[in-house]
Structure 1
Amino acid sequence: MFLKNVWYVAGPSSDFGEDVVSRRICDRPVAFYRKSDGSIAALHDRCPHRFVPLSMGQREDDSLRCGYHGLRFGPDGVCDDKPAGDQENPAKICTQHFAVEERYGYAWIWMGEAENAKPAMIPDFSFITSGEFKCEAGYLKVQGHHELITDNLLDLSHVNYLHPQISGGSHWSEWDNRVEVDGNTVWSRLSRPNQKPGAFQKMLWGSDSERGDGRGDVRWDAPSVLYANTAITEVGADIETSGFHTPSAHFLTPETATSTHYFWVTGRNMAKDDEKVSAMMEKGVGEVFETQDGPMVEAEQEAMGNSTDFLAHKPLILKADAAGIRARRILRKLIRDEQETEGSTAVQEVVE
């Protein structure tokens, strides 16, 4: 079950041009293409006649014609041309269309009814386009449920064991970890005063100090889009306005119940013009998840089989799991409320 009335990242804006791109999101194939006015159209990539992908057909102006029997669908999902005319089937023929918004260099898709889309619900990732940070981006396909990756990102206690090369020798037990809930947003706030920076931080921080005040805050919004900001500054200095900051975005878009599109962006406010550092960050961030976090998440999913309800397996819960548990509970409630609303609407329509 997926939350529908929410925004998912379909991919970088640069992925979508005049050619049709088919991408499975929430276990539904979606055909994307950029219209003549520059905006992105998104249609259910499934002809209602014989269920073949519309992306296998031809694009005609701003419409897609099915390559099997020639039905043509406009960007609003309505069939605007029937080869045999209305004598063949006078009924209105449609396929679902989805609302798409472009923001922060990415295309966001609303998987519910397009008329209900609320652009104001897209979370803030303005660091990507602010110009304050040099950003690198990448993509991974993870064979695991998106909530398992959310758990990984909200819980930084694993860093010492899975990523010793970036831990700096300090331990999670020495840090102050607070979980905050603001509406449907979850924050995991990690304060690390007087810590020894990791090798990467030390290299780019540009300070001769052996220790500094650090933090690692992570924000989660449903269904699974996360913002993180790891920073370090001089002991006693204002970490909001000084020091080395590496904000990052983690867009986890379910492909199916057990596979996830993972789009990531990482930024830095130092050595912004150093191309060697850019190449190192682009390669390093991808490799860390591909060779360390990713295999762990995929091992979790393999152990669970086709199940996606992690808590139903009655796992041992540790202190560091608090933020992930909060996120799971909020998502479950949002899905439940959405289904109850849809059920009530369907009953009302039948009564009327």
Structure 2
Amino acid sequence: MRRRAFFSCADSIASALMSFLLNAWYVAAFAHEVRADVPFSRTLLGRPVVLYRDAEQRAIALDDRCAHRFAPLSQGRIVDGVLECPYHGLRFSANGQCVHNPHGDGRVPAGAKVRAYPSLERYGAIWFWPGDPARADAALLPSFPFVDPAANVTHDGYLHTRAHYQLSADNLLDLSHFQFLHPDTLGSEAIARGDVQSGSLDDIVWVRRSAYDEALQPFVAQGFGIPPGTRVDRWMDVRWTPPGLLSIVVGVTAAGMPREAGLIAPSAHWLTPETERTTHYFFAFGLPKEMGDAARGLVRYAVEGLMKPFECEDLPMLEAQQKNLGDHDFWAMQPALLPIDAGAIRARRVMERLIAAEQGTAPAPVRTIAITPVAGTSQAVA
């Protein structure tokens, strides 16, 4: 007799989309996008933000709105490490305070200040904290050591997605779609025959998927240096940390051999909401510098090779999902759930709980949804 797994899911009909978690680190930009000679603008969590480097090369994040007449500061220029408004020349320092008024006697009005966001540079990215500045702690940033440019050769990619960031997280937490959405690049029939497990530790969600005796698609085989026709075992381990920070480790070994005998390819996937319906998707691959030119070629091969399936297959699917959801709440649409959805469900639960706690509201009412078992899956349910 097959067992049925059950999950309690929020059944909110008040809002079609979740609010944002504010007290958390989000990627604002890759480090190479932020310069000391020209400001850079990006909408993050529904707010226009301007980024630049000061005279000490520190990355600065401010509201992209002058305190005087609300002109976009990103259209201005950087003068001696401070940001000058393009409209009337007021200049703002790293803490958002106006430090120069070229008009009249030069006095600076008390209200001439724009919001400054805590920011830090790590793992090849600029991170910003949109919540309470007093709670911004660098120790709260999850670890992604494999894309630390100090020790690794890295290469990165960016995609703009016209869908809610949680749909992107769902997509990455359920790699069973490789078989169907990416049949010519990433998938194979062995994925459905394999095993999948998921669980959580505190607010961290993990999903582990294994495929056995698999014939890899040429793109994947070449990346791992696997000769054509070789039968392998492949595993894909995903770790999700709120608000939308994921690591994916893909490993390959000869069929029947232990994981320790195989090769791995780690990658970082960082989701930052642009608006309630659009997402910045940052991703990066890294390999040890000791690998030399081979590492440089492999990380570039991974990013450039994945760009096509990500852009031509994942993005259209996510955007089609968002279109069908429209203004409806995800749970109010009563999705039919499978064991492969367990990781995504856990991540959504964590986000709903954290946002409710941050806003001081009671969690949404819950209902129980039965998940239909699928042959070939083993499910560890917390």
Pair 272,198 (structure 1): closer, same or farther in 2 beyond 3 Å: farther
Alignment-derived partner of residue 332 in structure 1: 352
1:187: how far off? 0.4
Deviates more, 1:171-180 or 1:17-26: 171-180
* Structural mapping, 1:290-309, within 5 Å: 290-307=311-328, 309=329
2:315 maps to a residue whose letter is: G
Alignment-derived partner of residue 125 in structure 1: 144
Which residue of 120, 129, 142 corresponds with 1:101? 120
1:159: how far off? 1.2
* Structural mapping, 1:114-263, within 5 Å: 114-129=133-148, 135-166=154-185, 169-207=188-226, 210-239=230-259, 241-263=260-282
* Structural mapping, 1:17-28, within 5 Å: 17-18=35-36, 19-28=38-47
Determine helix, strand or coil for the equivalent of 1:317.
coil
1:53: how far off? 1.1
How many residues align? The count is 338
**Contact in 1 for aligned 2:267/2:285 (Cα 8 Å):** yes
* Structure 2 unaligned residues grouped into runs of 5+: 1-18, 362-382
Q: Give per-residue Cα distances to partners, 1:171-205, cap 9 Å, x unaligned.
A: 44322211111111110111234433333333344
Which residue of 334, 350, 363 corresponds with 1:314? 334
- Higher-helix-fraction structure: 1
1:218 maps to a residue whose letter is: V
Pair 54,134 (structure 1): closer, same or farther in 2 beyond 3 Å: closer
* Structure 1 unaligned residues grouped into runs of 5+: 342-352
**Contact in 2 for aligned 1:142/1:262 (Cα 8 Å):** yes
TM-score (norm. length: structure 2): 0.80
Q: Partners in 2 of 1:59 and 1:115 — Cα distance? A: 27
1:92: how far off? 4.3
Q: Partners in 2 of 1:115 and 1:125 — Cα distance? A: 24
**Contact in 2 for aligned 1:179/1:322 (Cα 8 Å):** yes
Alignment-derived partner of residue 29 in structure 2: 11
Aligned sequence identity (%): 38
Pair 191,279 (structure 1): closer, same or farther in 2 beyond 3 Å: closer
Alignment-derived partner of residue 4 in structure 2: none
Deviates more, 1:262-271 or 1:76-85: 262-271
Q: Let me know the Cα RMSD of the aligned residues.
A: 2.7
2:112 maps to a residue whose letter is: I
Q: Partners in 2 of 1:279 and 1:105 — Cα distance? A: 15
